[in-house]
Structure 1
Amino acid sequence: MTIRTTALTALAAALALAACSPKEEAAQTGNASAAADGKSVKLLNVSYDVARDFYKEYNPLFIKAYQAKHNGAEIDIQQSHGGSSKQALSVANGLAADVVTMNQTSDIEMLQQKGLVKNDWTQRLPDNAVPFTSTTVFLVRKGNPKQIKDWNDLTRDGVQIVLANPKTTGNGRYAFLGAYGYGLKVNNGDEAKTNDFVAAFLKNAPVFENGGRAATTTFSQRNIGDVLVTFENEANHVSKKLTQGQFEIVYPSYTILSESPVAVVDSVADKKGTQEAAKEYLEYLWSEPAQELAAKLYLRPRNADVLAKHQADFPAIETFTPNEKFGTWDEIMKKYFADGGLFDQLSAKK
């Protein structure tokens, strides 16, 4: 009993530290003087919820490389994390981000449409500006007591699932689209049958959390639910970093590939004079040290050699991309996640 209490206390502390609010993480004032003296630079990276662990370790790596390249010039990186789309809206409404590192292309496309990010943002960096990928998996409790093996098991009576809100988070949207894509496959493209399947899936989620890390906290710290539907890197973070021996990862037979696009917020960087530093900050994501860090934190690196080196950590699975299955992100957002869209319609059947 003492060992379990100690472990839970440690987990609670770790999650509480990780879940600090964007306001606590990012000083939103005083950024206008970022490069005023030509020597010191301050960058604000506005990012999605579960990326905080990666950037917490990435920033010191980049700062060291940047200072070596620029004769010890001072550079400070501040972070803001939350649901991906909420973060993008914050930037659209004036949060002075130099860069955005999201988990959904549509969030950056929205900033592009508002004139904050230039139209060629996907061509400025390798791999269409996506330095690493992930996929949606299931985290279950030790021993897998409900015998969860695939998406269809998440629709059974008596199975409670935990996931982030698909209306406001990329994590939740990928979970919804993962379930929908699986439903289309097993139902031979029959949308009516797939709608029934996904409605049953949503019915087993009593609440939708406001972010991927909030969903993790609910499942792992508050001990609510039988299954956490989340990104592969987040599932590994919980089962191998925060706890040991309490959870297991289940890989579905067919699941969705998630991409984490990045971009300079040109309107802000140009005004602050941080364009070059912001560009270097993102370019370094493709460096070998950064790709190794991604693999270490269970993000699938783009560097083929690094991926091969860590292949044991990344099981070969059959995946699909949102665009090949559902169209452009603009089409996806309108059909599935706009007010009154398919997500709202199917959720109403809960």
Structure 2
Amino acid sequence: MTLTLIKKTMAYLFIFVLSSSVQATVLLNSSYDVSRELFSALNVIFEKQWAQTHPNDILIVKQSHAGSSKQALSILQGLKADVVTYNQVTDVQILHDKGQLIPSNWQKRLPNNSSPFYSTMAFLVRKGNPKNIKDWNDLVRTDVKLIFSNPKTSGNGRYAWLAAWGVANLMNENDTLQTRKFMKQLLQNVEVFDTGGRGATTTFVGHKIGDVLISFESEVNTIRDRYVQQGYEVIVPTINIMAKFPVTWIDKNLSQNHTEKVAKAYLHYLYTPSAQKIMTHFYYRVNNPELMKQNKNRFPYTKFFTIEQMFGSWDRMTQIHFSNGGELDQILAERHE
């Protein structure tokens, strides 16, 4: 064997030994429809941080996106996600109630009831705001056409529905009959019910349907910034719902995937100042007063109400509004009468 061949053989052996000592870990995050850009940015930073402290472990964070309720159903049907980052409590809670995949106290495992960031609803209107949209009242005018996602399949759509209902309820001093009239007119103005928030954005921006897109504040600001030449404008209503975005790790899946350590580290990372700063860049609100102060120009003041304040509890709200034959079904049927 020549010296050159010996050297090549030794080099191959070294590469083989090195590669055999390095493992690859895949972490799957099941998330809601319009969070793609946010987690693309967050994941890159976390992967680098993980590599620094775990040099023999190559981490790949993968994403799954759809309407929040549809995502939860996919996990119940067998999607082996390690963590979920959803936009409503019910889509996480169902993983316990229907699948026993997480414990009942999942909200107590991380700060702020396991919600590292939050948002609210906002309106995206076309250049110059031709319909002069200023607040919720303007959305029930007969000359206004709306786009928002289906509350049956999307947390985004549910928050749009609940925000409108809550504001109407406040305006009508808890007169349910008048609030239902408001919601009936709102639904009559809806042009398209897409299954998720990003689909609603595509309908409004790509297909140019509708006068107003109702979506998360983060989504409409991102779209405005991306399509500057289109001149879209953002309106944040003066009274609005607080949309908390709960997260958790999926205990049953972690034991099967052997990803417990990295999954928990990933969700704790979402609470770090560096991650929270990235969130504000994507127009998400955070429970960090200093960061919010630094970004006050990005987040107009709005008077918030929560699900619990307006509807009593998530369970009660879900039963009244989104169960079969609930308020949403009833008013959808009435709008065609």
TM-score exceeds 0.5 = yes
Please report how far the alpha carbon of residue 253 of structure 1 lies from its aligned counterpart in structure 2 after TM superposition.
2.0
Q: 2:264 aligns with which of 279, 302, 314?
A: 279
* Matching residue of 2:179: 194
* Matching residue of 1:18: none
* Matching residue of 2:65: 81
Matched, 1:58 2:42: yes
SS in 1 for 2:209: coil
SS in 1 for 2:35: helix
Hey, what's the Cα distance between the residues in 1 that align with 2:53 and 2:108? 24
Hey, what's the Cα distance between the residues in 2 that align with 1:243 and 1:55? 23
* Matching residue of 1:41: 25
SS in 2 for 1:217: helix
* Matching residue of 1:10: none
Please report how far the alpha carbon of residue 72 of structure 1 lies from its aligned counterpart in structure 2 after TM superposition.
5.0
Matched, 1:256 2:241: yes
Please report how far the alpha carbon of residue 139 of structure 1 lies from its aligned counterpart in structure 2 after TM superposition.
0.7
Alignment of 1:266-345 (within 5 A): 266-345=251-330
Asked whether the 8 Å contact 1:262–1:282 carries over to 2, the reply is yes
CA spacing shift, 1:38–1:95, aligned 2, 3 Å: farther
Please report how far the alpha carbon of residue 119 of structure 1 lies from its aligned counterpart in structure 2 after TM superposition.
2.2
Alignment of 1:118-197 (within 5 A): 118-197=103-182
Matched, 1:92 2:73: no
Instruction: Say which one has the larger Rg.
Output: 2
Alignment of 1:21-40 (within 5 A): 39-40=23-24
Please report how far the alpha carbon of residue 70 of structure 1 lies from its aligned counterpart in structure 2 after TM superposition.
1.8
Please report how far the alpha carbon of residue 66 of structure 1 lies from its aligned counterpart in structure 2 after TM superposition.
1.1
Runs of 4+ residues deviating >2 angstroms: 37-40, 241-245
Hey, what's the Cα distance between the residues in 2 that align with 1:115 and 1:66? 30
Cα-Cα RMSD: 1.5
Hey, what's the Cα distance between the residues in 2 that align with 1:324 and 1:291? 26
Hey, what's the Cα distance between the residues in 1 that align with 2:96 and 2:323? 19
Asked whether the 8 Å contact 1:166–1:173 carries over to 2, the reply is yes
Aligned residue identity for 1:82: A
Give a deviation string over 1:191-244, Cα, whole Å, max 9, x none.
011001111011100221111001011111111000001100001011013434
Aligned residue identity for 2:153: T
Hey, what's the Cα distance between the residues in 1 that align with 2:257 and 2:64? 18
Matched, 1:108 2:92: yes
Please report how far the alpha carbon of residue 245 of structure 1 lies from its aligned counterpart in structure 2 after TM superposition.
5.0
SS in 1 for 2:190: coil
Hey, what's the Cα distance between the residues in 2 that align with 1:117 and 1:150? 39
Matched, 1:207 2:205: no
Hey, what's the Cα distance between the residues in 2 that align with 1:130 and 1:290? 13
SS in 1 for 2:263: helix
SS in 2 for 1:269: helix
Please report how far the alpha carbon of residue 126 of structure 1 lies from its aligned counterpart in structure 2 after TM superposition.
1.2
Aligned residue identity for 2:328: F
Consecutive unaligned residues of structure 1, counting only runs of 5 or more, are 1-36
Hey, what's the Cα distance between the residues in 1 that align with 2:227 and 2:88? 26
Asked whether the 8 Å contact 1:83–1:168 carries over to 2, the reply is yes
Consecutive unaligned residues of structure 2, counting only runs of 5 or more, are 1-20
Asked whether the 8 Å contact 1:286–1:303 carries over to 2, the reply is no
Asked whether the 8 Å contact 2:191–2:209 carries over to 1, the reply is no
Hey, what's the Cα distance between the residues in 2 that align with 1:316 and 1:206? 29
Give a deviation string over 1:20-59, Cα, whole Å, max 9, x none.
xxxxxxxxxxxxxxxxx89421111110000111011111
Hey, what's the Cα distance between the residues in 2 that align with 1:298 and 1:117? 30
Hey, what's the Cα distance between the residues in 2 that align with 1:90 and 1:63? 25
